[in-house]
Amino acid sequence: MDWEDSQEQAAFRAEVRQVIQEHLPDRYRSADGAGERAWEFDRKSDDPEAREAADSWLRTLSERRWVAPQWPYEYGGAGLTPMEQFVLNQELARVGAPHVGGSGVGLLGPTLIVHGTDEQKARYLPPILKGEVAWAQGYSEPGAGSDLASLQTRAERDGDTYVINGQKIWTSGAHAADALFLLARTDPEAPKHRGISFLLVEDIRQPGISIRPLIDMGDHHYFNETFLEDVRVPISNRVGEENRGWYVGMTLLDFERSNIGAAEGARRALARLVRDAHSTGRPLPPVARLAIAERYVESQVMFQFSLRIISMQNRGLIPNHEASVAKLFASEMSQRISLTATRAFGLHAQRWADGTAAGRATDSYIRSVPATIRGGTSEVQRNVIATRGLGLPRG
Ligand SMILES: Cc1cc2nc3c(=O)[nH]c(=O)nc-3n(C[C@H](O)[C@H](O)[C@H](O)COP(=O)(O)OP(=O)(O)OC[C@H]3O[C@@H](n4cnc5c(N)ncnc54)[C@H](O)[C@@H]3O)c2cc1C
């Protein structure tokens, strides 16, 4: 097998690198601190420099149709082959450039493309691509996470509107979002998967919605609790049929499933760890050296998982348990890398986020913890691999 780029891929990679070189705002160049939602938060920031960086990066990507490159061309996608998309995502991830468009690009857009009416596609897709509307995802509830179908938020019909009441939790970026897509129960009598509808709340600041910050253990405001009290949305804001929302909500065809971002993130984190280890001027304890070598091997394995998924996509196959393998491995690997970093610094790693290499390692470990929970916990991924991948009977 030849891992080298073909001539066309090499030319495309060079083009992407040049665009990054010329247009990625300085703010995003040392992107490890920026975080994946940097664009969403920056566009609403009080700091004019942050807003300008978000606008300028948006312009750069939109001019090339690279905001949602994975969408079909007719809806504003880039018309790239899966391999070119992979190269684009790899190069953006290599420098840690922030995603533009948030959940609208990765989750809602692909769902509307499959299940939305022509009017819904015309109304909602262009503002996502133009960076005008960022969507938050209202799925999880205090009593419904892994077992999402147990959700209790109600949407009752009143004439030609739904009236929504309930509570969502862990709504990432809701405080910087403009709109909210959610799952709500429209038939409480039906079996739990069959009484749910997928609804669009176009204005997240409309009366009846209150958003309360949840501060994570790294002291960051990333997600929120979202309360809905008599929130009205027109019936035309339902995606798909009434009570069939579970199947709509599960579409979430994020075509970028290769997790190449995680593989590149691991490479960046390891390169930094090696740099930081040198900068201390002290020899590393042998056990730390061996652990770093092991993490290096794992980052190479992760890269192979990404290639396996992209090779499936190239053949028109949709990765299923393979995507779970990549998600599980990537999220646990990123925790192992930052844990290895904290151990390499020993007691110095007790200084948290103080600007030193040791403090950075600890901060990155704390930031890496939620990765094994979001988007399906590690246990849920292992269940998928065991049942769908290995055909083991369910317990
Ligand atoms: C950073 C982050 C961002 C998030 N953003 C959003 C968002 O924007 N919108 C949104 O709707 N949600 C969001 N979530 C919520 C996320 O989807 C849920 O946290 C996740 O699905 C797990 O649900 P839970 O927290 O209720 O845990 P639970 O489902 O209660 O799980 C608790 C524990 O039990 C285990 N467990 C549960 N079921 C099984 C099983 N069948 N077999 C074995 N073990 C099991 C789990 O693995 C876990 O260890 C986010 C979460 C995080 C961490």
| Consecutive 10-residue averages of pLDDT for the chain (395 residues) | 87 98 91 70 94 96 95 94 90 92 92 96 97 96 96 97 98 96 97 96 97 92 96 98 95 72 89 86 87 95 91 85 93 95 89 84 90 93 95 88
Does ligand 1 come within 6 angstroms of the Cβ of 377? Answer: yes
Triad 110, 168, 193: Cα angle to 5°: 65
108 CA to centre of own chain: 12
196: CB partners within 8 A, 6+ apart: 149, 151, 183, 184, 185, 186, 243, 245, 246, 249
Determine which one of 40, 91, 141, 256 is catalytic.
256
Report the DSSP beta bridge partners of residue 248: none
The answer to pTM > 0.85 is: yes
What are the φ/ψ torsions at residue 241 (nearest 5 degrees)?
-75, 160
The Cα-based distances of 72 to 104, 134, 313, 351 in angstroms read 15, 20, 14, 48
- Give the type of residue at 6: S
Closest C-alpha residue for ligand 1 atom 7: 171
Q: Enumerate residues 6+ apart whose C-beta is below 8 A from 109.
A: 68, 71, 75, 101, 124, 125, 128
Q: Are 43 and 134 in contact (CB under 8 A)?
A: yes
CB neighbour class for 202 (10 Å; exposed up to 12, middle 13-18, buried from 19): middle
Q: Look at domain 135-249 and name its CATH class.
A: mainly beta
For residue 166, how many other CB atoms are within 10 A of its CB? 19
For residue 99, what is the enclosing H or E element? none
**Rounded Cα distance, 159 and 164, in Å:** 13
Q: Residue ranges per domain, the chain?
A: 7-100, 135-249, 260-389
Q: Which residues pair with 201 in a beta bridge?
A: 180
Distance CA 102, CA 96 (A): 15
> With respect to CATH, is domain 260-389 assigned 1.20.140.10?
yes
Mutate to test the pocket of ligand 1, among 111, 137, 146 (most ligand atoms within 8 A of CB): 146
Distances (CA, A) of 65 to 77, 255, 319, 357: 6, 16, 25, 38
Q: Measuring from atom 24 of ligand 1, which residue has the nearest CA?
A: 145
The answer to whether 61 and 111 have CB atoms below 8 angstroms apart is no
Q: Give the distance (Å) from ligand 1 centre to CA of residue 387.
A: 19
**Structure-token pair, residue 73:** 């061309």
Return the pLDDT at 34.
54
Q: Does 242 participate in catalysis according to the annotation? A: no
Cβ of 379 below 6 Å from ligand 1: yes
**For the chain, how far is it from start to end, CA to CA, in angstroms?**
39
- Give exposure, 225-247, as e/b (b: 16+ Cβ within 10 Å): bbbbeebbbeeebbbbebbbbbe
